[in-house]
Amino acid sequence: MRYLPKSPADREAMLKAMGLRSVDDLFAPIPAEYRLNRDLKIPRQMAESEIVDYFRQRSRENAEGYVSFLGAGAYSHYRPVIIDSLISRGEFLTAYTPYQAEISQGTLQSIFEFQTMISELTGMEVANASMYDGSTAAAEAVMMAVRLTGRRSVVLARSLHPEYREVLATYATHQGMPLSVAGFGENGRVNLAELEKSISAETACVLIQSPNFFGTLEDVAAVADIAHRNGALLVVSIAEAVSLGIVEPPREADIIAMEAQSFGVPLGFGGPYCGVIATREKFVRQMPGRLVGQTVDKHGKRGFVLTLATREQHIRREKATSNICTNQALVALMVNIFMTVYGKVGLKELAKQNLAKAAYAAAQFGKQGEVLFGGAPRFNEFVVRTSEDAYAINNRLLGHKVIGGLPLKKFYPELGNAALWCCTELTTRSSIDTAVGLVAESERSVQSAKQETEEMVR
């Protein structure tokens, strides 16, 4: 077996040195009746070339070579090649949690830079070293708000990612955290009147997403005002991190729960991604997850350590802020490198391109069909309503190697034949025109079918 650095003679020598006859002696503590006396029924040992071949075949069955208009919490942005060059260094890839600071300064300093850049981009004072993903970060942020306020109920926007809502519901089940949902208005934003009605003296926090699931930017100031007037905290989820390059961050928020996948993390069929929580300094002791802090060594030299560890499970056990242990360090490193590459100016240019592509696409779709939620600004996603079922249209688009927008029927039946379309800097004008053309064709055929029916009726 090529990963095992031992010859049969080595094993013999080791057993002999230990005064054992066979390796079975070492497994004697396992009661005989439970020992497995056969081979596991799993694929046989494969050569490296066979393994590579197996996954190349799976890749071919997996939308290779399609143009995609999908977003909805997982975004296709260009990944600078140096991300993979750098994270492939064994010193990053094969290290573990930096508990031994003296031989982990590389990981620690890079996390400190990550925390700094996330703080800068979100307009918050502190950020942690990462969480599993945006959905669990949102749930953890809500639990943090519950601890901070001593209140238990939560109001969340229906315009929050539906799967984030599901995750929060799962986390809340056994923590006595009643959830209520505030709907969205004509402009796609959270309905403020409804929010005002749902909030009470028991509300720990209001949770919204901006840009929200429809790509619409929420009126964060107005929501914050309602939350704060009622003594509740405002938690803002950000699923499309690139928006921070051109959109004011939700500075009125008390906690930001982010998904940083857009910053250089491959789509990877949904994970691993990179959640992160940012907040105000005064709330830091209730923040879950690892934190890196700056300090000095015995000779006064600057160095970095994991700090405020008493919040965490390995010390506080059942009283910890969260059970989180492993985080997403390597993915956070991808994010860190991406943020460093684009930096202060590049992120803005990148975000502008996203804005321009989506604005162009929305305008083109608007000429052929109905683009919903026009009354509020949006970033790089928009909702198109068609006469024909969105799945049927998408099926035709697939024939042209185009994956259309995400049909919303499953999540928002009230929107009818609507689909959520996303354009990033990688979406070309010609692919937009192709998609618009195919949707227009669908509209025309439905219209003419309708006319024919009407004529027949007449």
Partner 1 sequence: MAYPTDRKYTKEHEWILANGNTATIGITNYAQESLGDIVFVELPKVGAELTAGKTFGTVESVKAVSDLFAPVSGTVTEINADLATSPENVNKDAHAAWMIRISLKDPKQLDSLLSSSDYEKFVAEEGGH
Partner 2 sequence: MTDRIRKATRHVNQNEGLIFEKSSAGKAAWKVPPLDVPEVDSASLLGGIERKDLGNMPEVSEIEIIRHFTRLSTWNYAIDLGMYPLGSCTMKYNPRVNEAVARVEGIANGHPYQPEKISQGALQIIKTLSQCLIEITGMDAITLQPAAGAHGEMTGLLMVRAYHHSQGRPRKKVLIPDSAHGTNPATAAMVDYAVENLKSDSRGMVDISALAAQMNEDVAALMLTNPNTLGVFEQDIHKIADILHAKGGLLYMDGANMNALVGKVRPGDFGVDLMHLNLHKTFSTPHGGGGPGSGPVAVKTILEPFLPKPVLINKPDGTLGFEYNRPQSVGRVRAFYGNFGMFVRALAYIQANGPDGLRQTTEDAVLNANYIRKGLEGTYELPYATPTMHEVVFSDKLQAKKGVRTMDIAKRLIDYGFHPYTTAFPLIVPGAMMIEPTESESIEELDFFVEAMKSIADEVEENPQTVLDAPHSTRVSRLDETAAARKPVLRWKPVV
Looking at residues 313 to 372 of the shown chain, list those that interact with partner 1 (rule: CB under 8 A).
315-316, 319
| Nearest distance in Å: CB 452, partner 2 | 30
CB 185 within 8 A of CB 212: no
| Nearest distance in Å: CB 416, partner 2 | 19
What's the maximum distance between 2 C-alpha atoms anywhere in the chain?
99
Judged by CB, which is closer to partner 1: 293, or 375? 293
Token pair of 169 as six digits: 């519901």
| Residue 56 host element (H or E) | helix 48-60
Site string for partner 2, 174-203 (x = CB under 8 A): xxx---------------------------
Report the residue from 214, 357, 382, 408 that binds partner 2 according to the rule CB under 8 A: 357
Q: What is the dihedral of CA 446, 447, 449, 452, to 10 degrees?
A: 170
C-alpha 367 chain-centroid distance: 32
Token pair of 91 as six digits: 């010193």
| Per-residue DSSP letter, 26 | G
Report the residue from 60, 197, 229, 444 that binds partner 2 according to the rule CB under 8 A: 60
Judged by CB, which is closer to partner 2: 349, or 414? 349
Which distant-in-sequence residues (6+ apart) come within 8 Å of 280 by Cβ?
Answer: 124, 125, 126, 254
Neighbours of 227 (CB within 10 A): 26
Cα angle at 357 between 353 and 358, to 5 degrees? 120
Span near partner 1 by CB under 8 A; candidates 207-215, 254-262, 310-318, 423-431: 310-318
CB 286 within 8 A of CB 140: no
The verdict on 310 binding partner 1 (CB under 8 A) reads: yes
Nearest to 253 by CA among 284, 215, 288, 222: 222
Judged by CB, which is closer to partner 1: 44, or 319? 319
The verdict on 309 binding partner 1 (CB under 8 A) reads: yes
Report the residue from 156, 253, 355, 439 that binds partner 2 according to the rule CB under 8 A: 355
Judged by CB, which is closer to partner 2: 88, or 455? 88
Please measure the distance between the N-terminal and C-terminal CA atoms of the chain and give it in whole angstroms: 79
Span near partner 2 by CB under 8 A; candidates 181-189, 195-203, 289-297, 445-453: 289-297
CB 208 within 8 A of CB 179: no
- Local structure of 418: helix, strand or coil: strand
Report the residue from 21, 34, 367, 457 that binds partner 2 according to the rule CB under 8 A: 34
The verdict on 413 binding partner 2 (CB under 8 A) reads: no
Report the residue from 23, 193, 392, 449 that binds partner 2 according to the rule CB under 8 A: 23
The verdict on 74 binding partner 2 (CB under 8 A) reads: yes
The verdict on 22 binding partner 1 (CB under 8 A) reads: no
Residues 116-175 that bind partner 2 (CB under 8 A): 116-117, 119-121, 123, 125-127, 129-130, 132-136, 161, 163-164, 166-167, 169-171, 173-175
CB 380 within 8 A of CB 243: yes
The verdict on 39 binding partner 2 (CB under 8 A) reads: yes
Token pair of 112 as six digits: 């400190």
Q: Which does 367 bind (CB under 5 to 8 A by kind): partner 2, partner 1, none?
A: none
Q: What are phi and psi of 396, to 5 degrees?
A: -70, -40
The verdict on 282 binding partner 1 (CB under 8 A) reads: no
Binding residues for partner 2, rule CB under 8 A, total: 196
The verdict on 292 binding partner 2 (CB under 8 A) reads: yes
| Nearest distance in Å: CB 21, partner 2 | 13
- Local structure of 47: helix, strand or coil: coil
CB 219 within 8 A of CB 194: no
For every residue of 191-234, DSSP letters joined together read: -HHHHHHH--TTEEEEEEESS-TTSBPP-HHHHHHHHHHTT-EE
Q: Which does 456 bind (CB under 5 to 8 A by kind): partner 2, partner 1, none?
A: none
Q: Which does 193 bind (CB under 5 to 8 A by kind): partner 2, partner 1, none?
A: none
| Nearest distance in Å: CB 232, partner 2 | 22
Span near partner 2 by CB under 8 A; candidates 85-93, 152-160, 187-195, 201-209: 85-93
**Contact positions toward partner 1, by CB under 8 A?**
285, 309-310, 315-316, 319
